[in-house]
Amino acid sequence: MKDPMSETVKQMDLDRLFKNFEVLQNWEDRYRFIIEMGKKIPPLDPSEKTEENRVHGCISTVHMVINVTADDPPRIHFIANSDAMIVNGLIAIMQIIYDGQTAAEIAAVDLDAIFRKLGLVGHLSPNRRNGFFAMAERLRSLSGQ
């Protein structure tokens, strides 16, 4: 199997993410993997780090910019950044789950099930978990769902 650390976020889909987490069986390796994924997300332009783009409900500072394509149905693309390395990793996971999806596909995601399958429930603080779900809620609301 491919080394999980060698993949970029854009190369990964949800199935590959699950497989990578299966290979990394202890939490320290998974934590490092999440941080490494976060290092690979594209940065936001400083001009986009505005209060309007801020995600509220996160302990860390997170900014998210959403773009909607002209496709039929429209597809949602987003970029986000945080001042915390682990949160950038969680943003990378969100990009794997949501980026390029339609509003209906975004609404259909069972984020709790994904969170449990990745084993994040018992390893992230309640504040980080709440922040993750706040980012997902912002994405849903900005996508029209």
Q: Is the dihedral of CA 43, 144, 96, 24 positive or negative?
A: positive
CA distance linking residue 33 with residue 31, whole number of Å: 5
Please classify residue 57 by burial: count the beta carbons closer than 10 Å to its beta carbon, then call 0-12 exposed, 13-18 middle and 19+ buried. middle
Query: Which sequence positions are flagged as catalytic?
Result: 58
Full strand arrangement of the beta sheet holding 75-82: 62-68, 75-82, 101-102
Would you call 85 helix, strand, or coil by DSSP?
helix
Angle at 94 between CA 90 and CA 100, to 5 degrees: 155
